[in-house]
Structure 1
Amino acid sequence: MTTVATVSEETGSPYALSHLDALESEAVHIFREVAGEFERPVILFSGGKDSIVMLHLALKAFRPAAVPFSLLHVDTGHNFPEVLDYRDRTVAKHGLRLHVASVQDYIDRGVLKERPDGTRNPLQTLPLTEKIQAEKFDAVFGGGRRDEEKARAKERVFSLRDEFSQWDPRRQRPELWNLYNGRHAPGEHVRVFPLSNWTELDVWQYIAREGIELPEIYYAHEREVFRRGGMWLTAGEWGGPKDGETVEKRLVRYRTVGDMSCTGAVDSDADTIEKVIVEIAASRLTERGATRADDKMSEAAMEDRKREGYF
């Protein structure tokens, strides 16, 4: 990323970019780099805050032209209705093409089996990798950030995946001076992470600055939840609650949005973006560490899934 100091019209002296401007500039550069290097890129878009910011940056990178990428959502079948509604409205608003890889389709065909705990996030890998192969996507944008989880801290911005979509940390390339190597063999592809250097707080500050709309579940609201594994899970058709688990109505919000069966809500009265930013600034746990049951299945749960082809 090359950053040129802008000259103030009032004083005639140069001034440095703010940290949000620098992060935005880096992400825009990455989107344009991918557009120049690859033939069939796609953006993973779930309707979560990171993918929303990623799409916002892509729109900025190519404005006034259209975004030259389609979107891909791996649908577990246990999504929050508010998030699916947001996804569909966003796709229609910007005239984008949406690919959907459905976990339920794989279950119906007997290719995948339901887990005893009802969690479907670990089942996303096969639909994702087969969709990438079927559509011949050679670059896949993801909203992963290095501050989220220790396995993601190992990621490069351009993360090479082999012909089976598997990740091997030993095959990753150096990225000195923001130079990105997109070279890959036939059948391989590259996962691209424009938000790698962002933190959760950066994301929220950027959302506030840009006035980006989010699904309402990111803000405090009353919801029927029950306690499991130290987290507040949403009651619903996915299999919760079980006998002995009591449903109660609480004021909560979601820091991260995934499958309803493994994404926990947090007690919160942060019903505005300003309050959310204050809350995050004071938090001592990452969003995934605090609210994602799928990352607690083992000490290396995320890394194991990434090696298999997960995001």
Structure 2
Amino acid sequence: ETVARLGIRLEVARVQDYIDDGRLHERADGTRNPLQTLPLLDAIAAGRHDAVFGGARRDEDKARAKERIISLRDEFGQWDPRNQRPELWSLYNGRHTPGQHVRAFPISNWTELDVWRYIEREDIPLPPLYFAHEREVFRRDGMWRAVGEVSEPRPDETVERRVVRYRTVGDMSCTGAVESDAVTTASVVAEVARSTLTERGATRADDRISEAAMEDRKKDGYF
């Protein structure tokens, strides 16, 4: 809908395409999130992009708290947390050499609550996944996981119908839902204000692989 409304070009790099032709293989832990890195880096190289915008925020994960708003990536698309430029008085340095690029995170200093308050103020339309709806789910690692092609219950996991919503919309193989009755933006704002866990901490299984899971992926070129 956004592409049609703005008349822009949408290009998609698909993990499934890389699995189908053998460039990537499914992981033993079932999560496809780390597999997104290679298609992302290939798309950046193919488009010869100097800068790539992301929606990451510092409150999501301690690795993202080390990011700058303008984050330098080397010729291999990799991130070095020790090679980040100071950003004083909102002055940003986007310079880079051929082959390098920068990742730009304009809302890095926002919180999840800031985002939802802005959505409410501007009356921004959102996909229904962000609001409470009934869904077939099963419990794993303390999270409600939706039943799907890349997210199937094990023999000892019971499928239930629950009213849930997604605080973050990520890869289905590792993104969990939370029980919620928030069906409007205002009720989501109230719910987030009460929460003591970030949305990634509450709903992303890939970040529970190890304490440094996000940082390890970012060093490889992940957003």
TM-score range for the pair, normalised by the shorter chain length:
over 0.9
Contact 2:143 2:177 in 1 (8 A): yes
2:181 corresponding residue in structure 1: 269
Matched, 1:172 2:84: yes
2:74 corresponding residue in structure 1: 162
Matched, 1:285 2:190: no
SS of structure 2 residue aligned to 1:98 = coil
1:207 corresponding residue in structure 2: 119
Cα separation, 2, equivalents of 1:248 and 1:170: 46
Residue identity in the other structure for 2:38: L
Aligned partner (choices 25, 40, 59) of residue 147 of structure 1: 59
Residue identity in the other structure for 2:73: R
Residue identity in the other structure for 2:4: A
Aligned partner (choices 174, 181, 187) of residue 99 of structure 2: 187
**What TM-score, normalized by structure 2, do the two folds share?**
0.98
Contact 2:145 2:151 in 1 (8 A): no
**What does 1:286-305 align with in structure 2 at a 5 Å threshold?**
286-305=198-217
Residue identity in the other structure for 1:186: P
Q: CA deviation at 1:117?
A: 3.2
Aligned partner (choices 143, 146, 156) of residue 231 of structure 1: 143
Moved beyond 2 Å, runs of 4+? none
Moved more, 238-247 or 275-284: 238-247
SS of structure 1 residue aligned to 2:58 = coil
Contact 2:151 2:172 in 1 (8 A): no
Cα separation, 2, equivalents of 1:234 and 1:261: 9
Contact 2:50 2:102 in 1 (8 A): yes
Cα separation, 2, equivalents of 1:288 and 1:238: 19
Higher relative contact order (CA 8 A, sep 6+): 2
Residue identity in the other structure for 1:221: H
Q: Percent identity?
A: 73
Residue identity in the other structure for 1:98: L
Q: CA deviation at 1:118?
A: 2.5
**Structure 1, residues 126-164: CA drift from partner, whole Å, max 9, x if none?**
110111111100100000001111000011010000000
Aligned length: 223
Q: Which runs of 5+ in 2 are unaligned?
A: none
Matched, 1:108 2:20: yes
Q: CA deviation at 1:116?
A: 2.4
**Structure 1, residues 15-53: CA drift from partner, whole Å, max 9, x if none?**
xxxxxxxxxxxxxxxxxxxxxxxxxxxxxxxxxxxxxxx
Q: CA deviation at 1:214?
A: 0.5
Cα separation, 1, equivalents of 2:217 and 2:29: 17
Considering only aligned residues, what root-mean-square deviation do their CA atoms show, in Å?
0.8
Residue identity in the other structure for 2:50: D
Q: Which runs of 5+ in 1 are unaligned?
A: 1-88
**Structure 1, residues 187-224: CA drift from partner, whole Å, max 9, x if none?**
00000000101000000000000000000011111111
Residue identity in the other structure for 1:195: I
Matched, 1:118 2:30: yes
**What TM-score, normalized by structure 1, do the two folds share?**
0.71
1:257 corresponding residue in structure 2: 169
Q: CA deviation at 1:171?
A: 1.1
SS of structure 2 residue aligned to 1:206 = helix
Residue identity in the other structure for 2:140: R
**Structure 1, residues 226-284: CA drift from partner, whole Å, max 9, x if none?**
01111100001114012111110001111001011111000111111111111110100
Cα separation, 2, equivalents of 1:177 and 1:126: 35
SS of structure 2 residue aligned to 1:128 = helix
- In terms of fraction of residues, the more helix-rich structure is 1
Cα separation, 1, equivalents of 2:75 and 2:204: 29
